[in-house]
């Protein structure tokens, strides 16, 4: 598509972590809280923990346990023993050391004022996602939230977008999905939904590398201010 031409959608669906809210610091905090007994209090590297973000808390915490030396044969048992602690720690941390990306609130307000319907599709567990958006006072912008524990699957499975679109009773051709990672781009491609990618967030450097045509989003965005200018 010519990047100078913007076909405006009716519905805009957003990823959450790394797209709307920079949550990395509080996720790292919670992981370190939970694995402290395994590391004698030594903190895990911030960049390493951040590299695990994107596939939901369960996958992230499993990665942390592996890094702390838990063998695969013991992983299920250790996970079960420590998950409630991690869940509690992250529940306490959620919204305490995170921030909206620049111009998010202004952009969402402008989109609502121009009659766009907005939703969130995230791999974050629902309890965490709801707390995060409430803490940052953006919950009233969104008509729907599909979370990482809503379905048996997570992104990049296209069911995440298909179910959301079905619940909104809208044609997929009238939907735009906005994310920050290759998981989001792959989800949009698999679902046949237009996808834009923000250059901030947790793409782990993937957007700085050459991408095949199938990996390319329709458009890259540098900011929410740019998104607002394009759509409003």
Residues in the chain: 232
Q: DSSP 3-state assignment of 195?
A: strand
Domains and CATH numbers, the chain: 11-23+99-231 (3.40.50.1000), 24-93 (1.10.150)
* pLDDT on residue 3: 57
* pLDDT on residue 1: 46
Q: Which residues make beta-bridge pairs with 144?
A: 119
* pLDDT on residue 93: 92
Q: Which residues make beta-bridge pairs with 57?
A: none
21 burial level (CB within 10 Å; 0-12, 13-18, 19+): buried
Pair of tokens at residue 49: 């923990």
Report H helices in 138-177: 159-168
- Across the chain, which has 232 residues, the per-10-residue mean pLDDT values are 75 97 95 94 93 86 96 96 93 93 98 98 93 96 97 96 98 97 94 96 80 84 97 96
Query: How distant, in Å, are the alpha carbons of 144, 183, 184 from that of 206?
Result: 29, 11, 12
Catalytic positions, written as ranges: 15
């Amino acid at each position: 598509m010519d990047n100078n031409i913007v076909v405006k959608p009716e519905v805009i669906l957003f990823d959450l972590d790394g797209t709307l809210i920079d949550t990395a610091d509080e996720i790292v905090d919670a992981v370190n809280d939970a694995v402290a007994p395994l590391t004698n209090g030594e903190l895990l590297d911030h960049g390493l923990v951040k590299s695990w973000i994107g596939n939901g808390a369960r996958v992230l915490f499993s990665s942390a346990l592996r890094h702390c030396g838990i063998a695969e044969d013991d992983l299920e048992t250790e996970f079960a023993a420590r998950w409630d602690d991690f869940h509690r720690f992250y529940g306490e941390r959620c919204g305490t050391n995170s921030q909206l990306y620049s111009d998010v609130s202004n952009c969402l307000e402008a989109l609502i004022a121009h009659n766009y319907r907005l939703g969130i599709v995230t791999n974050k567990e629902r309890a965490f996602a709801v707390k995060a958006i409430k803490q940052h006072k953006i919950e009233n912008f969104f008509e729907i939230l599909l979370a990482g524990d809503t379905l048996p699957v997570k992104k990049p499975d296209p069911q995440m977008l298909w179910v959301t679109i079905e619940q909104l009773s809208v044609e997929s051709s009238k939907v735009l999905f906005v994310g920050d990672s290759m998981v989001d781009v792959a989800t949009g491609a698999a679902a046949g939904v237009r996808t834009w990618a923000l250059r901030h967030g947790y793409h782990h450097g993937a957007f700085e590398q050459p991408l095949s045509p199938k990996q390319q989003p329709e458009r890259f965005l540098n900011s929410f201010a740019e998104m607002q200018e394009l759509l409003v």
